[in-house]
Amino acid sequence: MTAHGTVPVTIRAMESSNSPGGAGGGRREATRQKLYEAAVTLIAEQGFSATTVDEIAERAGVAKGTVYYNFASKSVLFEELLRHGVGLLTASLRDAAERTAEAGGSKVDSLDAMVRAGLVFIDRYPSFTQLYVAELWRTNRAWQSTLMVVRQEAVAVVEGVLREGVEADELSEEIDIGLTASALVGMVLVAALDWQAFQPERSLDDVHAALSRLLQGRVSGKP
């Protein structure tokens, strides 16, 4: 499940052939990808309900019937989109933590690497992130449970590193792991979305530096 490298993985990376013996990507999978991409942008901009299937089909350059040939319904298309996207994020976070550990870094280094991995992800898939945040705390929606499961998966990765940090006496044992993980995720999420929305010209390194500082408590006092 671990993705390969920090090399920006495109959506296409999760591609898999649908025919058991077939080797190539397959025409069908390509169509699905086009639909994912079209849907993610439109839904991020307008929201799920305000986005019509006709729009999605048009943006994907595909007939409406094709949407229904490939997905049972509009919500199913959306749910698969969510699962797919969060899968990528989780893999990327886990990978960042593992690589740091293998390179002999501390747990704080791991956290820092995960912050960066988060930023890279958001930079690459801003629409997905937007859409995810917009839907995460909604209740009474069809895909609510999907979202919960998938969220927990991602947060658990951060919690894991925090826990190891405490066990290794590297982090204060008084920290609240769950809350701190949430707060860290929120810090990265909101800062990155603001960055994308209001200062897209700034570099990722810049943003990373600012968050690193906050993470490592180098905000108060002089350097």
Partner DNA sequence: GTTTTTGCACTGACTAGTCAGTGCAAAAAA
Partner DNA sequence: TTTTTTGCACTGACTAGTCAGTGCAAAAAC
N residues, the chain: 223
Minimum distance of DNA from residue 199's CB (angstroms)? 33
Q: 92: closest CA among 12, 158, 183, 167?
A: 158
Q: Does 12 bind DNA (CB under 7 A)?
A: no
142 binds, among a second copy, DNA, none (CB under 5 to 8 A by kind): none
- Contact by Cβ (8 Å): 17, 24: yes
Q: Distance (Å, rounded) from C-alpha 181 to C-alpha 207?
A: 19
Estimate to the nearest angstrom the gap between the alpha carbon of 112 and the chain centroid.
16
Q: Is residue 21 within 8 Å of residue 29, measured between CB atoms?
A: no
Binding of DNA by 17 (CB under 7 A): yes
Q: State the binding string over 63-82 for DNA (x if CB under 7 A, else -).
A: xxxx-xxx--xxx-------
Task: By CB under 7 A, tell whether 58 contacts DNA.
Answer: no
**DSSP letter (8 states) at residue 215:** H
Q: Is 193 in the site for a second copy (CB under 8 A)?
A: yes
Q: Which of 53, 62, 108, 204 binds a second copy (CB under 8 A)?
A: 108
51 touches DNA by CB under 7 A = yes
- Of the candidates 113, 124, 107, 111, the residue with the CA atom closest to the CA atom of residue 192: 124
Rounded Cα distance between 181 and 166, Å, is: 13
Could you tell me if 33 and 15 are in contact, meaning their C-beta atoms sit under 8 angstroms apart? yes
Selected from 11, 141, 153, 156, the binder of a second copy by CB under 8 A is 141
* 4 binding partner (options DNA, a second copy, none; Cβ < 5 to 8 Å by kind): none
First-to-last CA distance in the chain?
A: 40
Q: Which is nearer to DNA, 73 or 152 (CB)?
A: 73
Q: How far is the CB of 45 from a second copy (least distance, A)?
A: 5
Residue 193 · residue 122 · CB < 8 Å: yes
From 10-18, 20-28, 63-71, 180-188, span contacting a second copy (CB under 8 A)? 180-188
Which residue in 23, 104, 137, 203 binds a second copy (CB under 8 A)?
137
Amino acid at 109: D
Give residues in contact with DNA (CB under 7 A).
15-19, 26-28, 30-31, 51-54, 61-66, 68-70, 73-75
Give residues in contact with a second copy (CB under 8 A).
44-50, 108, 130, 133-141, 165, 169-176, 178-180, 182-191, 193-197, 199, 206-207, 209-211, 213-223
